Amino acid sequence: MTGRDDEMLDHEFDGIREFDNPPPNWIMWLLYASIAVAVGYWLVYQTFGVGSYPTTRYEAEMARAAEQQLARMAKVELNDRTLELMAAIPAKVGEGRKIFEQFCVACHGAGGEGSVGPNLTDPFWIHGGTPMQIHKTVTSGVPDKGMVAWAGQLGPARVQTVTAYVLTLKNTNKPGKAPQGEPEVAPAPGAAPAAAAGQTGAAAAPART
Ligand code: HEC
């Protein structure tokens, strides 16, 4: 094992001495390769952002699946499931957020935490917290309590997207206006949602609460 250039180092512990040998090449190549991979990883994921993390790809995949399912259900009348699918599509939620920022924050707060209007992030609802109940409140309003009937001003499509956005606020429990109304009760297991007839995949999908 001792090469020509080997030099004995001048320390000794309990009679053990060592040569000043370089580490074997294979271990050096392993080191260089890890450095190269680390630099490549850094460039691809951090600097240029051309690679997408598995979590990002997963979310994109889920959004795509929701879009496809929504497209298949396009002819079904609006129901809890279609609204929940919209709430799973970032593009729709983004549109909804813009509408919310424009028309709703004045009374419900920037994050839905409530001011004049109730807190939309707690589990308590005056008019019910299911997607269709929220949709109905936004559509028809509560005129004598100061909540506008938005269907006229926004039209059905924008009422749906803003409802989808409200669904993403639901149960985020932001500190704000004290709870009003009743806690939302989960529908009894096995109870078919009223408008579920004819929809696909509803039974398999867990309710987003
Ligand atoms: C002028 C103030 C005002 C604006 C603007 C407003 N709301 Fe409201 N909203 C209220 C009030 C007040 C209530 C409570 C009604 C009641 O007490 O029955 C309410 C209730 C609600 C509820 C039902 C909450 C519950 O506990 O059942 C939802 C959902 C809602 N608003 C969504 C919206 C959305 C979405 C927008 C924007 C498109 C909006 N609101 C704009 C005042 C407002």
Residue 206 has pLDDT above 90, yes or no: no
Name the percent of the chain lying above pLDDT 90: 67
Residue with the nearest Cα to atom 7 of ligand 1? 147
Domains annotated on the chain, with CATH:
1-51 (no CATH), 55-183 (1.10.760.10)
pLDDT reported for residue 114: 94
Distance between CA 164 and CA 155 in Å, rounded? Answer: 15
Instruction: Summarize the confidence of residues 111-140 as an average pLDDT.
Output: 95
Categorize the per-residue pLDDT at 71 as very low, low, confident or very high, splitting at 50, 70 and 90: confident
Amino acid at 191: A
Amino acid at 148: V
Categorize the per-residue pLDDT at 172 as very low, low, confident or very high, splitting at 50, 70 and 90: very high
Count the Cβ atoms, other than its own, within 10 Å of residue 194: 11
Instruction: Summarize the confidence of residues 77-103 as an average pLDDT.
Output: 94
pLDDT in tens, 152-162: 999 999 999 99
Q: Under DSSP, is residue 16 helix (H, G, I), strand (E, B) or coil?
A: strand
Amino acid at 185: V
Residue with the nearest Cα to atom 11 of ligand 1? 117
DSSP 202: T
pLDDT reported for residue 77: 85
Residue with the nearest Cα to atom 36 of ligand 1? 104
Count the Cβ atoms, other than its own, within 10 Å of residue 167: 24
Categorize the per-residue pLDDT at 191 as very low, low, confident or very high, splitting at 50, 70 and 90: low
Q: Under DSSP, is residue 166 helix (H, G, I), strand (E, B) or coil?
A: helix
Report CA(99)–ligand 1 centroid distance (Å). 14
pLDDT reported for residue 199: 43
Mutate to test the pocket of ligand 1, among 105, 108, 136 (most ligand atoms within 8 A of CB): 108
Estimate to the nearest angstrom the gap between the alpha carbon of 203 and the chain centroid: 22
Q: Which atom of ligand 1 is nearest to the CA of 106?
A: 5
Instruction: Summarize the confidence of residues 179-186 as an average pLDDT.
Output: 84
Residue ranges around ligand 1 (CB below 6 Å): 103-104, 106-108, 116-118, 120, 125-127, 134, 137-138, 142, 145-148, 150, 162, 166, 180-181
